[in-house]
Structure 1
Amino acid sequence: MTSVNTALSDTDRRAIEDLILEHAWLLDHCRWHDVAELYLENGTLTVGTQTLVGRDQFHRWADTRAANSARRTHHQCTNIRLRRDDDDGASGTVMLVLHVSDGGDSPYVDFIGEYHDRYARDQHGIWRFNTRVLHPLAATRAP
């Protein structure tokens, strides 16, 4: 049960849920450069041993990702759990099942994990990712 002092307003909850889903949609529709705009200017994303810090690094990652255009993904995000933080920010967890198709192969589940997120408003009051860390729960091998 959500404690009163950790509950987000319906408006904030919806905005953060939209942010989470937009992140997945952009990745799945090959719009990797646009992902950077979902983060604060100095926001971070950690996946495995790689941490991207700031939008410049996100854009460099996007260039690398675009070079592997045969790899198509479907990010299935579920079990979104959000909490308001004391500093007017918010935090949350999101379960991820990553489906992949590599160059015409049958799709397969490549990864199961959980995002641990911190969200903050930018200077315009729009919710952005401050930090996003993907923790693996299970990884599978391509067929």
Structure 2
Amino acid sequence: MPEVTNDIRVEIEQLVAEHHWLLDHGQADRLHTLYAEDAVSVGPLGTMVGREAIKSWGERRVKINAGVVRHFSGGTRLGFENGVLCGTTYYMTFRGSQPDPLHPASVGEFREQYVRIDGRWLIQRREIVPVFGGNNAAAHAKRVAAGGGE
């Protein structure tokens, strides 16, 4: 079974951090570059299949006022399962649109699978699993899908 080296860990943690940074800084239209062509994303936003679907979502996201949001993550656990690199990362999301923006809007896990393509790790599958605040996450996803933000 392959080993998770320090280099792999650093690359995956940077991939997750870049995902959050792009989303939090109005550049969701670039998120698709972090995903494999046939990637799948599942969560409160619904299911998106393929890089093009993720790109379309990101392009819509930057055109609306989604408000101030910040993602904090850590505790990433990585391991190979049946030859596939898998990870679980804990997250907290804060939104300026919450009644008290100092309390997390959502707390949960990103459950991911990664694939190495052309020497670069990409997200093959991302499942967003809210543990606390799932209703907040679903309501925000619905506002974003309808073209509104705050």
Alignment TM-score, normalising by the size of structure 2 = 0.80
CA RMSD after TM alignment: 2.2
Q: How does 1:40-119 map to 2 (within 5 A)?
A: 40-48=36-44, 50-87=46-83, 89-102=84-97, 107=101, 108-119=103-114
Instruction: Point out the structure with the larger strand share.
Output: 1
Instruction: Give the residue type in structure 2 aligned to 1:134.
Output: I
Give 1:7 deviation, angstroms. 3.4
Note the alpha carbon deviations across 1:43-102, whole angstroms, 9 max, x for none.
111112611111211122113322332512100111111112342x31010011000113
Question: Structure 1: any 5+ residue segments left out of the alignment?
Answer: none
Note the alpha carbon deviations across 1:9-45, whole angstroms, 9 max, x for none.
1111111111111111111111101110100011111
Counterparts of 2:49 and 2:23, CA distance in 1: 18
Q: Does structure 1 residue 121 correspond to structure 2 residue 130?
A: no
Overall identity of the aligned pairs, in %: 26
Deviates more, 1:38-47 or 1:62-71: 62-71
Tell me if the contact between 1:47 and 1:133 (Cα under 8 Å) persists in the aligned partners: yes
Tell me if the contact between 2:29 and 2:61 (Cα under 8 Å) persists in the aligned partners: no
Alignment TM-score, normalising by the size of structure 1 = 0.84
Tell me if the contact between 2:24 and 2:70 (Cα under 8 Å) persists in the aligned partners: yes
Instruction: Point out the structure with the larger helix share.
Output: 2
Question: Structure 2: any 5+ residue segments left out of the alignment?
Answer: 141-150
Instruction: Give the 4+ runs in structure 1 shifted more than 4 A.
Output: none
Query: For this pair of structures, how many residues does the alignment match?
Result: 135
Counterparts of 1:36 and 1:112, CA distance in 2: 23
